């Protein structure tokens, strides 16, 4: 089985600058690299809540490039530079993005560095099977 790189339509500068794929398709699973609240030029959005919203926008763009949505997510890992003080704003955005059950499982990790960002989200999603896939 050959792994396939996936990139969103509007590839942001970080993929090229740091040499990684936005996601990798492997069988019926999609492994999405950590998505941050970067603007198109790769710089961090300075407003924290907006940075979280942009991270989700970037995540949804990568999922869409593989024919997936947030509903296809199985596993979430998020990284936070100041979880105690950021939790409220993260939960606001999270509850808007994941508003219906069943929710994906989620692991949150506090870190001390995210290359100038304060929030990062990486996921594993199941790729929908189409009739041509059978």
Quote the crossing angle between the two packed helices 83-97 and 48-65, to the nearest 10°: 40
pLDDT band of residue 97 (cuts 50, 70, 90) is very high
- 132, pLDDT greater than 70: no
CA–CA dist 132, 134 (Å, integer) = 6
- 131, pLDDT greater than 60: no
Among 17-21, 37-41, 53-57, the least confident range:
17-21
- Nearest Cα to Cα of residue 32 among 86, 95, 78: 78
pLDDT in the model for residue 112:
96
Model-level pTM? 0.90
- 52, pLDDT greater than 70: yes
pLDDT in the model for residue 118:
97
Burial of 75 (0-12, 13-18, 19+ CB in 10 A): middle
Query: Mean pLDDT score of the chain, rounded to an integer?
Result: 91
Q: CA distances (Å), 6 to each of 29, 79, 82, in order?
A: 12, 22, 30
pLDDT, tens only, 62-93:
999 999 999 999 999 999 999 999 999 999 99
Query: Cβ contacts of residue 81 below 8 Å, gap of 6+?
Result: 110, 111, 112, 113, 114, 117, 118, 119
- 102, pLDDT greater than 90: yes
Q: Which domains does the chain have, with CATH numbers?
A: 4-133 (3.30.1330.40)
């Amino acid at each position: 089985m050959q792994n396939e790189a996936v990139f969103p339509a509007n590839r942001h500068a970080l993929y090229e600058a740091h040499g990684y794929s936005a996601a990798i398709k492997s069988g019926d699973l999609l492994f999405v690299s950590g998505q941050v609240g970067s603007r198109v030029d790769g710089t961090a959005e300075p407003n924290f809540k907006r940075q979280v919203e942009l991270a989700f926008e970037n995540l949804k763009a990568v999922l869409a490039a593989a024919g997936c949505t947030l509903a296809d997510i199985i596993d979430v890992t998020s990284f936070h530079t100041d979880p105690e003080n950021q939790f409220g704003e993260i939960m606001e955005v999270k509850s808007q993005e994941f508003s219906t059950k069943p929710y994906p499982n989620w692991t949150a990790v506090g870190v001390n560095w995210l290359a100038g960002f304060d929030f990062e989200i990486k996921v594993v999603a199941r790729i929908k099977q189409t009739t041509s896939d059978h």
